[in-house]
Amino acid sequence: MTDFTRMSATELVALMARGEASSADIVTAHLDRIHHVEPTIHAFLHVADKALEQAGEVDRRRAAGETLPATAGLPFAVKDVLCTTDMPTTAGSKILEGYYPPYDATVVTKCRAAGLISLGKTNMDEFAMGSSTEHSGYGPTANPWDATRTPGGSGGGSAAAVAACEAPIALGSDTGGSIRQPSAFTGTVGFKPTYGGVSRYGVIALASSLDQVGPVARTVTDAALLQDIIAGHDPHDSTSIPTPWPSMVDAAVAAARNPSVKGLKVGRIKQLDTDGFQPSVRQRYHETLEMLSAEGAEIIDIDAPHFDYAVSAYYLILPAEASSNLAKFDSVRFGLRVTPEGGDATVEDVMAATREAGFGDEVKRRIILGTYALSAGYYDAYYGSAQKVRTLIQQDFTSAFRKVDVLATPAAPHTAFRLGEQLDDPLAMYANDMTTIPANLAGVPGLALPMGLDPENGLPIGLQLMAPAHGDRRLFEVGAAMEIFVNAAFGGPVWSRVPEVAAGGAK
């Protein structure tokens, strides 16, 4: 019997086009899979109740001879930071429990227009603040490779759902690595587009100058398929780039058919290749670079001196913007409202009680940090200085891309850590994104893909590729070719080796 959950999105689309599978069959298989593994994984906060009905409608229209988008009937998952009218949108926070937005995020609208069928909303760190999905107001998500470990964050739900074959593709958001770091931990492919390449309209904002929506998938081509759907200008988003984007799928398919990195100049960043990384991660990274060199690529050492300050600058800029963005959760307009006992509570009393009850500890920590950084007398010393560092990091990228076509780094400094291991150590948690943060500060695109499994613990290891702003297509060309080489060198596709998930945890 065909297992649709173990197929790529591209394969599922081809099956429906040939009439060899119905959308209802494919959606049913994924809903059954969700039912089977969710007690262990907890990737979803809400499972769509009309997915099968929508699949049946797609099948009816296709059978009637209507011209539908090629992707019509393909299931996908949605990170709960994206507004949806037909499902709750909580951003992983109790302060928005049960909230139904009055509009869809633009990326959700585009997916609906492409005929995609939502399976549900995925778990995440509250308001996307975290690197392990343990800061969710609704409990942590487990890594399908080992249910005692984190799938990363903040988008651990989307990455875990794709890795556990609960969905073939998913939408995520990436503010400092929230797509790419979970991809590294779960053996999936995650893409952060050029800032402005995908609309942020309908995304519950964390840090508006850093947030970007992108795809999570099991192959580079599948990620390209979803990226083509969501990319493009949106007049609702003032930061949206008005120029059209070339097809990422065409680039990925062409590169996969004729994989080559001959003549490609690949940059190795000195500051992101250190003894502080997990030894097995660093070793696999070097093996991958050696493999690329053997295939004809030129490996060039890059000095990016200001990358050493990226995490520090990021954790001033992000909390400052988060403090401003989260001020809207005031108990007055929408969401949770907590009224203190007694009849004389003021608006300020209600607001304070609501935010105290509704926000988790990590959100409170970052709001306090951000408010302090923006306060009178400290703005220039902290937030202003961090923005200057950001400019220097952008200049480091500009200098690097004069010498190389892409930059390659580990997508995370280590493999997935155990749940609870870093929960009481914010600095260790923040360091998880040290390789991914620079791309967000500079607004350049980044692609994470697996480079096999750690020979010591059997967990996925992730590689990150970065290109200049607007160089998204280049990443899919290089990524699709590298996927072929990496799979051949390190034991085949990582996603095909995910352990089966049972009610008691991953075997």
Give yes or no for a contact between 498 and 164, defined as CB atoms under 8 angstroms apart: yes
Cis ω before 247 (30° cut-off from 0): no
Please tell me which residue in 154, 158, 240, 323 is annotated as part of the active site.
154
Please tell me which residue in 131, 136, 158, 178 is annotated as part of the active site.
178
Is 79 annotated in the active site? yes
**105 Cα distance to chain centroid:** 16
Please tell me which residue in 8, 22, 23, 79 is annotated as part of the active site.
79
Characterize 103-126 residue by residue with b for buried, 16 or more Cβ atoms within 10 angstroms of its Cβ, and e for exposed: ebbbbbbbbeebbbbbbbbbbbbb
Q: What are phi and psi of 480, to 5 degrees?
A: -65, -40
Which amino acid belongs to residue 347? V
HSE (CB half, 13 Å, CA atoms) of 414? 17
Radius of gyration of the CA atoms of the chain, in A: 22
Is 50 annotated in the active site? no
Other residues' Cβ atoms within 10 Å of the Cβ of residue 243: 9
Characterize 74-90 residue by residue with b for buried, 16 or more Cβ atoms within 10 angstroms of its Cβ, and e for exposed: bbbbbbbbbbbeebebb
Handedness of CA 219, 222, 226, 228 (dihedral sign): positive
Contacts of residue 290, Cβ cutoff 8 Å, sequence gap at least 6: none
Residue for token digits 């923040």?
430
Q: CA-based angle 23:29:34, to the nearest 5? A: 125
Q: At what angle do helices 51-63 and 23-41 cross, to 10 degrees?
A: 160
Give yes or no for a contact between 211 and 82, defined as CB atoms under 8 angstroms apart: no
Give yes or no for a contact between 188 and 144, defined as CB atoms under 8 angstroms apart: no
Give the span between the Cα atoms of 133 and 128, in whole angstroms: 9
Give the span between the Cα atoms of 176 and 158, in whole angstroms: 16
Q: How far is CA 363 from CA 71, 299, 369, in A?
A: 37, 41, 10
Q: How far is CA 448 from CA 26, 59, 190, 377, 464, in A?
A: 27, 34, 5, 40, 4
Is 178 annotated in the active site? yes
Q: At what angle do helices 220-230 and 472-489 cross, to 10 degrees?
A: 160
Catalytically active residues, by annotation: 79, 154, 178
